[in-house]
Amino acid sequence: MNQVHFSPDQRPVYQQLSAQVNQYFRQQGIAKSGDQRLYRKAILIVLLFTASYAALLLLPSPWSLAAWFIHGIATALVGFNVMHDGAHESFSASRRLNRLAALTFNLIGSNRFYWAQKHNRNHHSFTNVDDVDEDIDALGLFRMSPHQRRFWFHRYQHLYVWLLYTLTSLFWFFALDYKAYFRQKIAQRSFSHPLSIADHAEFWASKLLYLLVYVALPLTLSDSTTVIAGFLLMHAVLGFLFAVVFQLAHIVDQAEFPQPDANGTLSDEWATHQLRTTVDFATQNRFLTWALGGLNFQVEHHLFPRVSHIHYPALHKLLQDACAAQGHPVRSYPGLWAALKGHYRHLRQLGQHD
Ligand SMILES: [Zn+2]
């Protein structure tokens, strides 16, 4: 396959939007990174994460299962609010703090190097493009893009996919990470650079740490049935939350799936591509905005990944007007339920029609 790329023309849409966003931050006199609001939230989430971990170790069964369940939610909150911003270097103005925030991914099961390649490099550049964006590759188990082959069982995918989502993080941490590591590429796109010795060491250290923290240590304090049940329960919660939150931004009936031409060239400039493939949801919902780390403002996030999510609600109106003026209105579902229905309709359509 040819390397996929955007057309090398000027980028008037992006230049216009970024000029307006830069002007906003200048006028407000504030930094684009996170501030006290984000740090307070991060401390609260880390406390929940630590307390639920202590509880799953120390409580007797079946109460410990409730702690495993809550720990699954806490882990998702770390991913949405701390790791994701850290990996985009938007958590803080401090490089060290961003690195520390990104490193939380090594503790919760995956690896920051893998995430940087999969998410920052592939997904954020070539959103919803087959063979590059691994987020739309379900290995044929279900069909997310109209350019993927349809099998007979996809007819029911809008029903069974919700069950598969509970396996997302298990599959990711125990299969996809290793697949990427040994192939040195994500989807059909090679890593940006070969792994250094430090990268190799970090990969294996984080995988070992995970097994120590989530299998070996719990087994010294609880029976194996409880640990296995708790571990699977935690992953069911985590996997479901990870999958659904990310699916609602791209795998919905308002999003598009552009394909490159025979030379690998995509027709739009990068910002226009993001506006066609990405959708906001529930932007008025303050609880979701807090809990999801701004992942309900994915249009804002895809256009300005280096801006911390705490600024997205303020940027929303500005970008709505600016994007509409550029002829590419921000796509959005008014609420969570509307977005879930948009996802359901998209899967049903792709499962039943070519
Ligand atoms: Zn991102």
| 100 membership: H or E segment, kind and range | helix 95-107
Residue 13 near residue 45 (C-beta atoms within 8 A): no
Distance separating alpha carbons of residues 219 and 111, to the nearest angstrom: 24
Q: Ligand 1 center to residue 246 CA distance, Å?
A: 10
Å from CA of 94 to ligand 1 middle: 19
Interval between CA 156 and ligand 1 midpoint (Å): 30
Find the 302 Cα to ligand 1 centroid distance in Å: 7
How far is the centre of ligand 1, averaged over its atoms, from the C-alpha of 304 (Å)? 9
Q: How far apart, in Å, are the Cα atoms of 249 and each of 310, 333, 336?
A: 18, 10, 11
The tens digit of pLDDT for each residue in 294-340 reads 999 999 999 999 999 999 999 999 999 999 998 999 999 999 999 99
Can you tell me the distance from the alpha carbon of 283 to that of 309, in angstroms, rounded to the nearest whole number?
12
The Å distance, Cα 347 to ligand 1 centre, comes to 23
pTM for the complete prediction?
A: 0.93
pLDDT at site 2: 52
Q: How far does residue 164's CA lie from ligand 1's centre (Å)?
A: 23
Q: Which is nearest to 104 in space by CA: 88, 83, 118, 119? A: 83
How many angstroms is it from 312 CA to the middle of ligand 1? 13
Query: In the chain, what percentage of residues exceed pLDDT 90?
Result: 84
Mean pLDDT over the full length of the chain: 94
The tens digit of pLDDT for each residue in 80-114 reads 999 999 999 999 999 999 999 999 999 998 988 88
* Residue 187: per-residue pLDDT: 83
Average pLDDT over residues 244-257: 97
Find the 305 Cα to ligand 1 centroid distance in Å.
6
pLDDT, position 56: 97
Report CA(157)–ligand 1 centroid distance (Å): 26
Helix (H, G, I), strand (E, B) or coil at 329: coil
Residues 6+ apart with CB under 8 A from 289: 282, 283, 296, 297, 312, 313
Task: Please report where in the chains the tokens 């925030």 appear, as a residue.
Answer: 101
Cα 95 to averaged position of ligand 1 atoms, centre (Å): 17
* Per-domain residue ranges of the chain: 5-352
CA of 119 relative to ligand 1 center, distance in Å = 6
Question: Which residue type occupies 47?
Answer: L
Q: How far is the CA of 88 from the centre of ligand 1 (A)?
A: 7
> Cα(78) to centroid of ligand 1, in Å?
14
Q: Please give the distance, rounded to the nearest whole angstrom, from the Cα atom of residue 181 to the centre of ligand 1.
A: 21
The yes-or-no verdict on residue 1 having pLDDT over 70 is no
DSSP H/E element including 36 = helix 36-58
Digit-coded pLDDT (tens) for 198-243? 999 999 999 999 999 999 999 999 999 999 999 999 999 999 999 9
C-alpha 221 – ligand 1 centre gap (Å) = 37
Q: In sequence order, which residues have a C-beta less than 8 Å from that of residue 353 and are 6 or more positions away?
A: none
pLDDT at 193: 85
* Ligand 1 midpoint to CA 216 (Å): 32
| Ligand 1 centroid – CA 55 distance (Å) | 31
Report CA(124)–ligand 1 centroid distance (Å). Answer: 7
